[in-house]
Amino acid sequence: MEPLLLRALKNEPLPRPPVWLMRQAGRYMPEYRLLREKHSFLELCKSVALAKEVSLLPLKFLDVDAVILFSDILIPVEAMGIEISFNPAPKITNPIKTTSDIAKLKSASTNQDLNFVFHILEELRTELEQTKNSTEKKALIGFAGAPWTLACYILDQGPFKHFQGTQVFAYQHRSAIHDLLAKLELVVTSYLLKQIESGAQAVQLFDTWAGNLTAEDYQEFALPYTQRILSAIKGAGCPSILYVGTSAHLLPSLKTAGATCQSIDSRVPLRHAAQIFGEDVVLQGNFDPTHLFGSTNQVRTRTSQMISQLGRTTGYIANLGHGILPTTPPENALCFVNTVKAGWTTLE
Ligand code: CP3
């Protein structure tokens, strides 16, 4: 039997929603923290054996329905010639300051320097295919950052918060920002296509910071790039998931992005999203990560409320509305997953 997550992406009616957690392999897990005592974050990302082990940790602990590649959205940016470090937040040592810096960035053949990522996916897929009980098959998810969000990290951010520096740059250097976004689009497209060839069965595009844009600016600086990337993924026969942070004002645009599945942030009621996206677009989300800090009973109640909200047994993947927070009580993450697994009708 095909993995539950892939069946949800095909809009098949299911006995329960598939479930996984954004940032499911991370610091809330004691096993991950132990590994981090011995290795830097980039070491974990770049060693095929370690990245494979970390990717599989949430499967062992939570028995989620999907494994996501352990990596970071900034890994392909390094292959473009940008120096990155993590502490734990990402830092760019040579941010783009001028329009001529953009011209120097590599965009062709960056995949050559990312072979370790493709090997991790190949090994994970082989391992997941060997799962003995065929009804329990897990899906393998690949991912990349969307051009706007990657641009936010690599442009000099100046003294602003929330990447306003990138918005100012875009406003002052319209043609340069489009040059940069176009380069990022090329890199992200070939990177995701190669992830699919290497075994990813679905890919998620993270546009975490695009929610800072006005609806009009989103249509200029993010949507066309996202549409072309998602259309290439569709051309490869692979389902796609689009996540945009703080996106309530962007939902009508997102409906035209071309994703198989829209990942909804916690602030938007799922039912409201369903009214906008209709039944053709699969929805994912959108448990507030801070609600995992309640009592186990509260987590159970709120999770049940979330999954029964749509009132349908098709086209839904249970997940958080953003990445799991590093101090989350692990038992509550487990309670979230187990409540979803109890099915659609757990609410009394
Ligand atoms: O979902 C998974 O388990 C796969 C792994 C994954 C990581 N980053 C590992 C990580 C994924 C899918 C990402 C995506 C990512 N990275 C995004 C988009 C998703 C989102 O959360 O909005 C963004 C914006 C980044 C950039 C990034 N990387 C930030 C802002 C940080 C630091 C913030 C934090 O969590 O402390 C990172 C570092 C990072 N990426 C860590 C992990 C496990 C922590 C590194 C450590 O162990 O010290």
The pLDDT tens digits of the residues spanning 183-201 come to: 999 999 999 999 999 999 9
Backbone angles phi, psi at 281, to 5 degrees: -90, 130
SS (H, E, C) 194-245: HHHHCCCCEEEEEECCHHHCCHHHHHHHCHHHHHHHHHHHHHCCCCEEEEEC
Cβ(24)–Cβ(70) under 8 Å?
no
Instruction: Note the pTM of the prediction, 2 decimals.
Output: 0.97
The whole-number average pLDDT for the span 14-31 is 97
- Our mutation pick for probing the ligand 1 site, out of 35, 72, 82, 117, counting the most ligand atoms within 8 A of Cβ, is 72
| CB neighbour burial string for 115-134, b if at least 16 within 10 angstroms, e if fewer | eebbebbbbbbebbeeeeee
Nearest to 151 by CA among 72, 64, 82: 82
Percentage of the chain modeled with pLDDT above 70 = 97
The whole-number average pLDDT for the span 87-110 is 91
| pLDDT for res 156 | 73
Structure token pair of residue 130: 């060997």
Angle separating helix axes 164-172 and 174-197, nearest 10 degrees:
120
Mean pLDDT over the full length of the chain: 95
Backbone angles phi, psi at 310, to 5 degrees: -75, -25
Is the pLDDT reported for residue 155 higher than 70? yes
CA of 72 to the centre of ligand 1 (A): 6
Nearest to 307 by CA among 75, 15, 101: 15
Q: How many CA atoms lie within 13 A of 285 on its CB side?
A: 28
* 3-class state of residue 262 by DSSP: strand
* 153 Cα nearest atom in ligand 1: 26
* 21 Cα nearest atom in ligand 1: 1
| pLDDT for res 132 | 67
- Our mutation pick for probing the ligand 1 site, out of 22, 61, 73, counting the most ligand atoms within 8 A of Cβ, is 73
- Determine the Cα–Cα distance for residues 121 and 128; give it in Å rounded to an integer: 10
Active-site residue flag, 33:
no
- Determine the Cα–Cα distance for residues 238 and 258; give it in Å rounded to an integer: 12
Q: How confident is the model at residue 347 (pLDDT cuts 50, 70, 90)?
A: very low
Residue located nearest, by CA, to atom 21 of ligand 1: 323
Catalytic residue among 16, 32, 72, 300: 72
Residue located nearest, by CA, to atom 42 of ligand 1: 26
Catalytic residue among 28, 32, 65, 153: 153
- Around ligand 1, the residues with Cβ closer than 6 Å are 22-27, 36, 41, 68, 70, 72-73, 86, 88-90, 143, 206, 208, 245, 322-323
Residue with more model confidence, 224 or 91: 224
Catalytic residue among 7, 27, 302, 312: 27
- Give residue-wise pLDDT tens across range 48-76: 999 999 999 999 999 999 999 999 999 99
* 36 Cα nearest atom in ligand 1: 47
Q: In angstroms, how far is CA 315 from the centroid of its own chain?
A: 18
- Give residue-wise pLDDT tens across range 249-290: 999 999 999 999 999 999 999 999 999 999 999 999 999 999
CA of 321 to the centre of ligand 1 (A): 14
Q: Environment class of residue 296 by beta-carbon count within 10 Å: exposed (0-12), middle (13-18) or buried (19+)?
A: middle
